[in-house]
Amino acid sequence: MSDAIHSSADEYAKYGYVLNKRAVTSSGQEKIDLYKQAIKYLNKALELYLKDAETKNGSEKLLLIGNGRMVEANKLSVIANLYVAEAKKTSREES
């Protein structure tokens, strides 16, 4: 079961990264929606990496925790990009 969890975590992380890349080249509400979707996938990847780490020991556990923390760092970057996109949209609407 643990390998399946790890594989799922990898897939969620990859899709979150893809959505983030698509958001970077998008604009307006689509950009915001893509960032929000990316955050959901990255949250799920983080959850699964940490869940899988609970079943491991030693270096394997540390590797999974490290993977989870890298996903978490990327998620924070996506959240920052989302705030910037929302601020720009709000600014345009106020003008």
The distance of Cα 37 from the centroid of its chain, to the nearest Å, equals 8
Helix axes 28-53, 2-24, angle to 10 degrees: 160
**Domain membership of residue 20 as a residue range:** 2-94
Q: Domain containing 69 — which CATH number?
A: 1.20.58
Q: Residue 10's closest CA among 48, 57, 36, 51?
A: 48
Helix axes 2-24, 58-94, angle to 10 degrees: 30
List CB contacts of 20: < 8 A, sequence separation 6 or more. Answer: 34, 35, 38, 74, 77, 78, 81
How does pLDDT run across 44-64, given as a tens digit for each residue?
999 999 999 999 999 999 999
How high is the pLDDT of residue 2?
61
pTM for the full predicted model: 0.87
Number of compact structural domains in the chain? 1
Q: Looking at the predicted structure, is the pLDDT value of residue 1 above 80?
A: no
